Amino acid sequence: MFKKISKLNAYQLILLAFFITGVINISIAYFEISGVSNVRSSQTDIFSPSSKVIGTVWMLLIAGLLYSFFEVVKKEDVIKA
């Protein structure tokens, strides 16, 4: 499986990750899944960022991880060749 993924370029990896996390986020929104932390944050006056901010940050983190994965795989291919 990693061989197929490693053949994709960085942009394809990032789009694949955005698609997968998008499906997960849409399913969470559709099924209205809310956990204990959501109940606790609504009961207190502490700072709690919106779900849009949290989703955006996670998407950026995943994009950065995939880009670094792509760079490591590319370097390993150069070393092996």
In tens, the pLDDT along 5-61 reads: 767 777 887 888 889 888 887 887 777 666 555 555 566 656 667 777 777 888 889
Task: Output the pLDDT for position 14.
Answer: 83
Q: State the CB neighbour count (10 A cutoff) for residue 41.
A: 14
pLDDT band per the 50, 70, 90 thresholds, residue 79: low
Residue 4 has pLDDT above 80, yes or no: no
3-state helix/strand/coil string of the chain: CHHHHHCCCHHHHHHHHHHHHHHHHHHHHHHCCCCHHHHHHHHCCCCCCCHHHHHHHHHHHHHHHHHHHHHHHHHHHHHHC
C-alpha R_g of the chain: 17
Residue ranges per structural domain of the chain: 2-80
Q: What is the pLDDT of residue 81?
A: 54
The pLDDT of residue 61 is: 92
Alpha-carbon span 40 to 37, nearest angstrom: 5
